[in-house]
Chains A and B, each alone.
Chain A
Amino acid sequence: MAPDPEQLLHETADGPTRNLDTAALVARANRGRRRVLAAATAGTLALLVGATAAGFAWSSPGRMPDLAIDGFHSGARAAELWDRTFVATEVHEDGVARALVEGTRLEVHFSSEEPPVPVGDGVDVANTDADGIMRWNAGCNSGVRAIRLGEGRIEPSEYGYASHVGCDPEDHDQDRVLWEFFHSRPTWALADGRLVLESSRSRIEFEVVDQGLWFPAGD
């Protein structure tokens, strides 16, 4: 009797030519995660040290509290960034405050959804390179980019697109500047609901908003 198609597939499939070093693979996979955990632990310790120092200072007049929180890596707070919308309050370029085009507002939303990548024929599969999706709008066009939040930087992934709505030239220029900024692997830091993104040339400060104009809650 002829073998069925399943059997034929199994019989003709090539098995591995080598063993997988699972211990090395798991160690490699967990290396990044442990760095974040270590940063979180360092941050917590730093806060505890700071709090203790502050408490000591209260009982010892004349001594300044030493709030050594420099070690508090922003990566440890990534969870606080996801599924929130931020609106820009200050934009600095080369150290000089830059005004947004009149009537525009810069919003950025971090979505923890798994970024899809279309692979043709209507099938989407997950892009597991990324931690989530960043969306932004500066008053005219919107940009979308899959990102990772490792090492205190926003690392753009390969998946992304932007709308191409016709706008005034100054709006287009603002879009372009922001596109370049978000693709320049800016550092990020979050404290007290304020988000600071910084590249070699620019620094943008945001505040968290419950309800975005472009990205309403739950969007």
Chain B
Amino acid sequence: MRVPTRASLRRCQHVSDTSSEQERFCSALWPRLVRAMSHYCGDVYVAEELAQEALLRACRRWQHVSALDSPEGWVYRVAVNLANSTWRRRRAELRANERHGIPMEAAPCGVSETKLLVQGILSQLSHDQRAALILRYMLGFSAQDAADLLGTTPGAVRARTHRGREQLRALSESLHARTEESHHGS
């Protein structure tokens, strides 16, 4: 019977530690990333495909990604890159359709009015505005960190988030006023 050497055991241990670390990272980021990307691309099934692909790439370049200040930011940036690439997005859509066996047109069914209104606001924003808004207000990045990820300045990030934030605030106030009105009316 072959006795494993100390070096081979260390190697196995290293591979196993890295895999566990990767799995923990993916598990923790998965729901946050899917939620962020569902707002970015407007479809949760496509968001899942994009998030999965981005996490796969993070694991492939783990040595590089795990040494970064913000591995999460890197994965988000990759997911946005994938979403912006037309043919990749189309492929993600096809995979999502195949996986769930439902036509894309069916997605709005059962969606709340608030969600549709939020999606309406987000869809009016440019890619850059949407990416900045999600980084800042869904993933909790500072203006400086978001600027580093998007390759711009904190001032530009603030400018990009301004419009969406104001529109969301107006929507929130109008929804709140309507709820108050209906309470008073009843």
B90 / chain A contacts, CB cutoff of 8 Å: none
B114 to chain A, nearest CB (A): 6
Q: How far is the CA of A124 from the CA of B149 in the complex (A)?
A: 10
Q: How far is the CA of A140 from the CA of B15 in the complex (A)?
A: 47
The reply to whether B39 and A13 form a contact with Cβ atoms under 8 Å apart is: yes
A126 / chain B contacts, CB cutoff of 8 Å: 74, 77-78, 81
The reply to whether B81 and A14 form a contact with Cβ atoms under 8 Å apart is: no
A184 / chain B contacts, CB cutoff of 8 Å: none
Q: How far is the CA of A14 from the CA of B115 in the complex (A)?
A: 9
The reply to whether A125 and B127 form a contact with Cβ atoms under 8 Å apart is: no
Q: How far is the CA of A30 from the CA of B177 in the complex (A)?
A: 53
The reply to whether B19 and A17 form a contact with Cβ atoms under 8 Å apart is: no
Q: Does B47 contact A (CB under 8 A)?
A: yes
The reply to whether A9 and B150 form a contact with Cβ atoms under 8 Å apart is: no
- 8 Å CB contacts to A: which residues of B21-60? 22-23, 26-27, 30-31, 34-36, 38-39, 44-45, 47-48, 52, 55-57, 59-60
Q: How far is the CA of A17 from the CA of B168 in the complex (A)?
A: 25
Q: Which of A20, A117, A122 contacts B52 (CB 8 A)?
A: A20
Interface residue count on the B side (C-beta < 8 Å):
59
The reply to whether A22 and B127 form a contact with Cβ atoms under 8 Å apart is: no
- The listed residue with most B CB atoms (<10 A of its CB), out of A2, A119, A127, is A2
Q: Which of A4, A8, A22 contacts B27 (CB 8 A)?
A: A22
The reply to whether A5 and B169 form a contact with Cβ atoms under 8 Å apart is: yes
A122 to chain B, nearest CB (A): 8
The reply to whether B60 and A32 form a contact with Cβ atoms under 8 Å apart is: yes
Contact string against B for A residues 8-22, beta-carbon threshold 8 Å, 1 for contact and 0 otherwise: 111111111110101
Q: Does B128 contact A (CB under 8 A)?
A: yes
A123 / chain B contacts, CB cutoff of 8 Å: 127-128, 131, 150-152
- The listed residue with most B CB atoms (<10 A of its CB), out of A17, A23, A126, is A17
The reply to whether A17 and B81 form a contact with Cβ atoms under 8 Å apart is: no
- 8 Å CB contacts to B: which residues of A174-197? none
Q: Does A166 contact B (CB under 8 A)?
A: no
Q: How far is the CA of A16 from the CA of B81 in the complex (A)?
A: 20
A13 to chain B, nearest CB (A): 4
A28 to chain B, nearest CB (A): 7
Q: Which of A3, A6, A7, A17 contacts B44 (CB 8 A)?
A: A17
Contact string against A for B residues 70-112, beta-carbon threshold 8 Å, 1 for contact and 0 otherwise: 0000100110110011000000000000001000000000001
Q: Does B158 contact A (CB under 8 A)?
A: no
Q: How far is the CA of A29 from the CA of B39 in the complex (A)?
A: 27
Q: How far is the CA of A25 from the CA of B39 in the complex (A)?
A: 24
- 8 Å CB contacts to B: which residues of A98-126? 117, 119-126
Q: Does B13 contact A (CB under 8 A)?
A: no
A7 to chain B: closest residue by CB: B172
The reply to whether A9 and B137 form a contact with Cβ atoms under 8 Å apart is: yes
Q: A14-B38, A22-B23, A29-B60 are in contact. Are A8 and B48 (CB under 8 A)?
A: no
The reply to whether B23 and A119 form a contact with Cβ atoms under 8 Å apart is: no
The reply to whether B36 and A13 form a contact with Cβ atoms under 8 Å apart is: yes
B160 to chain A: closest residue by CB: A121
A-side residues, CB < 8 A to B, are 1-18, 20, 22-23, 25-30, 32-33, 117, 119-129
Q: Can you pick out 25 interface pairs between chain A and chain B where the beta carbons lie within 8 Å of each other?
A: A1-B176, A2-B169, A2-B173, A2-B176, A5-B165, A9-B168, A12-B115, A13-B35, A14-B34, A14-B35, A15-B44, A16-B44, A17-B44, A23-B23, A26-B59, A29-B22, A29-B62, A30-B22, A117-B81, A119-B84, A121-B127, A125-B80, A125-B81, A128-B60, A128-B61
